[in-house]
Structure 1
Amino acid sequence: MNKPLTKLNIFSAKGIQMRTFHITWVTFFFCFFGWFGIAPLMPLVREQLHLDKEQIGNILIASVSATILARLIIGKLCDSLGPRLSYTILLALGAIPVIGIGLSNSYESFLIFRFVIGVIGASFVITQFHTSMMFAPNIVGTANAVAGGWGNLGGGVTNLVMPLIASAFVALGYASQQDSWRYAMIIPGVILLIMAVIYFKYTKDTPKGNYSEFTRQAKVKTKGSFTAAAKDPRTWLLALAYGACFGVEITIDNVAAVFFVDNFNASLIMAGALAAIFGLMNLFARALGGIVSDRVGKTYGLKGKGYLLGTFLILEGIGLAFFANSATLQMAIFAMLVFALFLKMANGTTYSIVPFINKKAIGSVSGIVGAGGNLGAVLFGFLFKSASLTYADAFFYIGLAVGIIGLIVVIVPFERAQTETELNEQEVKLQTV
Structure 2
Amino acid sequence: MLAELFLHFYRGRYRILHLTWFAFFLSFVVWFNFAPLATAVQEDLGLETSQIRTILICNVALTVPARVIIGMLLDKYGPRITYSLLLMYAAIPCIIFAMAQNFSQLVISRLALSIVGAGFVIGIRMVAEWFPPKEIGLAEGIYGGWGNFGSAAAAFTLPTIAVWLGFGGLNPMTGDPMLNWRMAIAGTGIIAAIYGAIYFFSVEDTPPGRTYQRPNRAGGIEVTKKKDFWFLMAMNVPLVGVLAVLAWRLSKIGFLDQTGLILVWLGLVGLYLFQAYGCWQVNKDLMLGRKHYPPEDRYNFSQVAILELTYIVNFGSELAVVSMLPAFFELTFGLSKAAAGMIAASYAFMNLVSRPGGGLISDKLGSRKLTMGFLTAGMGIGYLLMSGVNNSWWLPAAVILTMGCSFFVQAAEGSTFAIVPLVKRRVTGQVAGNVGAYGNVGAVAYLTLYSLLPEGAVGDRIFFQTLGVAALIVAFLCWFVLKEPKGSFADFHEGEDHYHDKSVQDEAKEPVL
Instruction: Tell me the TM-score normalized by structure 1.
Output: 0.89
- The residue number in structure 2 matching 1:384 is 450
Superposition CA RMSD, Å: 2.7
Distance 1:429 1:89, change over 3 A: farther
Q: State the one-letter code of the partner of 2:223.
A: A
Residue type of the partner of 2:402?
M
1:342 aligns with 2:408: yes
CA distance in 2 between counterparts of 1:95 and 1:192 reads 7
Q: Partner residue of 1:368?
A: 434
Q: Give 2:373's match in structure 1, choosing from 301, 310, 327.
A: 310
| Alpha-carbon displacement from aligned partner over 1:178-198 (angstroms, at most 9, x marks no partner) | 561111112101111111111
Could you give the per-residue CA deviations for residues 15-55 of structure 1, whole angstroms, max 9, x where no partner exists? 44222111110111111111001110001112222332322
2:72, 2:219 within 8 Å by CA — same for their partners in 1? no
C-alpha separation between the residues in 2 aligned to 1:427 and 1:8?
Answer: 26
Match of 1:71 in 2: 67
Report 1:206-355 matches (<5 A). Answer: 206-208=206-208, 221=216, 226-228=221-223, 230=232, 232-297=301-366, 304-327=367-390, 328=393, 329-355=395-421
Match of 1:395 among 464, 486, 490: 464
* d(CA) in 1 for partners of 2:132, 2:355: 19
Q: Within 5 Å, give how 1:119-138 maps onto structure 2.
A: 119-138=115-134
- Residues 1:203 and 2:266 aligned together: no
Q: Deviations over 1:84-130 (max 9, x none)?
A: 01011111112110122111121221111111111111110011111
Which of 21, 24, 29 is equivalent to 1:28? 24
Residue 494 of structure 2 corresponds to 426
Q: 1:255 offset after TM fit, Å?
A: 1.2
C-alpha contact 2:492 2:498 (8 A) present in aligned 1:
no
User: Structure 1: how far apart are the matches of 2:169 and 2:210?
Assistant: 47
Which of residues 85, 97, 118 is equivalent to 2:114? 118
Please identify which structure carries the higher helix content: 1
- Bigger Cα displacement from structure 2, 388-397 vs 375-384: 388-397
Counterpart in the other structure of 1:52:
48
Deviations 1:40-77 (A, max 9, x none): 00011122223323222221211111111111111111
Instruction: Quote the Cα distance in structure 2 between the aligned partners of 1:366 and 1:331.
Output: 36
Give the percent of matched residue pairs that are identical in Structure 1 and Structure 2: 31
Taking the aligned partners of 1:419 and 1:135, their CA distance within structure 2 comes to 13
Change (3 A) 1:117 1:223: closer
What amino acid is aligned across from residue 125 of structure 1 in structure 2?
V
CA distance in 2, matches of 1:40, 1:102: 14
1:356 paired residue among 422, 431, 453: 422
Structure 1 pair 430–122 and aligned structure 2 pair: CA distance change class (3 A): farther
Q: 1:237 to 1:264 in 2, by over 3 A?
A: same
Q: Deviations over 1:206-234 (max 9, x none)?
A: 113798xx7xxx65656577233957111
What's 2:186 paired with? 186
Return the offset for 1:12.
2.1
Residue pair 2:422, 2:487 contacting (<8 A) in 1 also: no
Give unpaired runs (5+ residues) of structure 2. 225-231, 233-299, 501-513
Unaligned runs of 5+ in 1: 298-303
By how many angstroms is 1:80 displaced? 0.5
Structure 2 residue 156 is the aligned partner of structure 1 residue 93: no
Poorly superposed stretches of 4+, deviation over 6 Å: none
Q: Distance in 1 between matches of 2:496 and 2:80?
A: 23
Native 8 Å contact 1:54 1:387 kept in 2: no
Matched-pair contact (CA < 8 Å) for 2:22–2:147 = yes
For 2:219 and 2:363, the matched residues in 1 are separated by 29
Across the two proteins, how many residue pairs are aligned to each other?
Answer: 417
Q: From the superposition, tell whether residues 210 and 356 of structure 1 become closer, same or farther in structure 2 (CA, over 3 Å).
A: closer
Q: Select the structure of larger CA radius of gyration.
A: 2
Instruction: Report the residue type matching 1:360 in the other structure.
Output: R
Is the Cα contact below 8 Å between 1:320 and 1:335 reproduced in 2? no
Give the Cα separation in 1 of the matches to 2:42 and 2:144.
31
Give the CA deviation at 1:7.
8.8
Cα separation, partners in 2 of 1:235 and 1:7, compared to 1, 3 Å: farther
User: 2:358, 2:62 → 1: CA distance?
Assistant: 28
AA aligned to 1:263 is T
**Partner Cα distance (2:407, 2:417) in 1:** 16
Per the normalisation by structure 2, the TM-score is 0.76
Cross-structure match for 1:145: 141
Q: Residue by residue, what CA displacement relative to the aligned partner does 1:235-264 show, whole Å, maximum 9, x if unpaired? A: 111011011111111112211111111111
